[in-house]
Amino acid sequence: MTSETPAILWFRDDLRLSDHSALHAAMETGRPVLPVFVLDDGSGGSQASGGFRASGGASRWWLHHSLAALRQSLASCGTRLILRRGDSAGTILDIARQTGATDVFTGGLVAPGARQVDRAVAAALDGTLHRMRTTTLFHPDSVRTKAGGAYSVYTPFANACLALGGPKPTLPAPKSIRGAEPIESDRLEDWNLLPAKPDWASGLRDTWTPGEAGAMERAEAFLDHGLAGYAAARDRPANDGTSMLSPHLHFGEISASQLWHMAHRRQAGPARDMFIRELLWREFCANLLWHHPELPDTPLKPEFGKMPWRDDKPGLKAWQQGQTGVPIVDAGMRQLWHLGWMHNRVRMIVASFLIKHLMIRWQDGEAWFWDTLVDADLASNAGNWQWVAGCGADAAPYFRIFNPVLQGRKFDSDGDYVRHWVPELSRLDPRHIHAPWDAPADVLNRAGVVLGKTYPKPIVDLAAGRARALAAYAVIRDRA
C-alpha cells in the first residue's frame, strides 16, 4: 500500500502529454499521478457505438505503437503507464479501489458507448470522475444554435465555432510528473495488437510514425511545406497534398487545439482557412455523434430505412479487394489496404460507388473502413458515410452520383494514382487508364491488358448503375 493515494489519469483518445487538460488537472491535485490505459475489447476501447464496438485491425496496429510511444514519454517524465485489459468501467473502478484513489481524470468522449462507461464509473466511484475536454476544440454543448438546438448544417456550425474565437490556449507538456507507486500492469506486447499471421502491416510501417513526436513532426512538415499548395493539391490523390494527420488526431497524439493554434501562427490566407475548415468538419461530426448517438447505425433521414439495398456479397468483396474493374475505385481500395488510409477525394468516390452504383448499404462500407483505416473514428466515419449516402446531416443531395471515370480524369488527370495502385494498368495512357473497357483493342494489347484476365471487367455498367440508383432513390423520396 502506498502512503499517498494517487490521482488516476485515464488515457483514452488522447495519447499525448502536451495540451492534455486531464493530465494537467491530475497534476494540479498535488497528488502523485497514476496513468492508466484500458484496452476494452468488449466495450469498444476508445470508441463505441450505441452498443459496443471493438477497434479494427489497422487501429489496433496504430494503438500498439502509440501506446509504446506514450509509455516511453511517460518513462522519461519519471512515471509508468499502467496497462489493463478488460471492461473499462470495471477496470477503472478496480484500480481506484485498489489504490484508494478518489479522483479519476479523463477526456470526455462523444461516442455513446464511452459516455455510458463514464456514467457507470461516475455512479460507482467513491469519489469524482473528472471529464475534461481533450479531443475536440469545443465542448459539444457549447456550440448550439440560437434556439439552443443542435446544428444540422455544417456552414452555420462552422461559423458558430469561428465566432467563439478559437479554442483556449494550449497547455505545455510537463517536464516531469510525480508518478504514483506503480501497480501491476499488462505487458503491451502480450496484447497481440500487431498482426502476425500474416503480417500485413509493412505498408503501415513504411508510411506512419505513430506517437506524439511523429504527430508533431507531421504537423510541422505539413504547415511549413504543405499549406501553400493545399487548396489545389488536396484534391489530387497522386500528390501528398493532404495533411495526413487524421490518425494522429484520432488517437489524440496531437490535439485539434494545438493544430488550430499552430495554423494560426502561420501566414493568414485561404489555404490556412481551408485547413481550419477541415478541422471543423471533424468537430462537426463529433458534434453530430454527441447529439445523435444512433449515427453509426441508423440513417438520420428516416426514409432511407426503406431503401431497397441489394444483398451483394460478391460485389462487396470485389469492392473491398479493389477488384471492381473500375480503376480509380480499385486504386483507392488498394491504397486503403496497404496504408490503412485513403485520400479524402477517393474516399468519396469509392463510397459513392458502393452505395449508389452497387446499391450496397453504407453501413457495410462504414464497417470495412472501420476495420481497415488507421484513422477509424466513429464520429467522422459514420458522419461522412451518411453524408455520401445522402441520409445524414447536411448530406450530399441523393442524386449526386460520382462518375468514377470523370472523377478520375478530373483529379487524376495523368493517371499516376491509378498507375501506382493498380500496376496492371500502368502502361495505359491517361486517356484510357480510367476506362479501360472503352479502350481500343490495340491500345489494350500494347499495354499488356487483357480485360477479364489481367484486370477485371467492370462489375457494374456505370450508366445502368446510376440509373438504378436514381430509380431506387425516387421510390423512397416519393414515399417520404
Partner DNA sequence: TGAAATGTTGGGGCG
Partner DNA sequence: ACGCCCCAACATTTC
| Using rule CB under 7 A, residue 463 touches DNA | yes
Specify the amino acid at residue 381. Answer: N
Residue closer to DNA (CB basis): 65 or 282: 282
Residue closer to DNA (CB basis): 62 or 304: 304
Cβ contact 275:234 at 8 Å: no
| Using rule CB under 7 A, residue 283 touches DNA | no
Q: Which of 191, 281, 309, 337 binds DNA (CB under 7 A)?
A: 281
At 100, give phi and psi (nearest 5°). Answer: 75, 15
The CB-of-237 to DNA minimum distance in angstroms stands at 12
Binding marks (x or -) toward DNA, 104..143, rule CB under 7 A? ----------------------------------------
Cell of 101: 484513489
Is position 362 annotated as part of the catalytic site? Answer: yes
DSSP state of 357: I
Cis peptide before 210 (omega within 30 of 0): no
Is position 62 annotated as part of the catalytic site? Answer: no
The CB-of-434 to DNA minimum distance in angstroms stands at 11
Task: Specify the length of the chain in residues.
Answer: 480
User: Considering 212, 253, 278, 283, which one is annotated as catalytic?
Assistant: 278
Cell of 162: 469561428
Specify the amino acid at residue 303. Answer: E
Q: Which of 103, 118, 278, 330 binds DNA (CB under 7 A)?
A: 278
> How many chain residues interact with DNA (CB under 7 A)?
21
Q: Which of 348, 376, 422, 428 binds DNA (CB under 7 A)?
A: 348
The CB-of-306 to DNA minimum distance in angstroms stands at 17
Cell of 334: 488498394
Specify the amino acid at residue 231. Answer: A
Residue closer to DNA (CB basis): 64 or 345: 345
User: Considering 303, 309, 337, 424, which one is annotated as catalytic?
Assistant: 309
Is position 437 annotated as part of the catalytic site? Answer: no
The CB-of-474 to DNA minimum distance in angstroms stands at 6
Residues with Cβ < 8 Å from 380, sequence gap 6 or more? 246, 250, 281, 282, 285, 286
Instruction: Name which of residues 394 to 433 contact DNA (CB under 7 A).
Output: 396-397, 399-403, 406-407, 410
How is 155-217 classified by DSSP, letter by letter? HHHHHHHHHTTSPPPPPPPPS---BPPP-----GGGG--S--SS---HHHHHH---SHHHHHH
| Using rule CB under 7 A, residue 239 touches DNA | no
Alpha helical stretches, state H, 292-377: 313-321, 327-339, 344-352, 362-372
| Using rule CB under 7 A, residue 474 touches DNA | yes
Binding site for DNA (CB under 7 A): 154, 278, 281, 344-345, 348, 396-397, 399-403, 406-407, 410, 462-463, 466, 470, 474
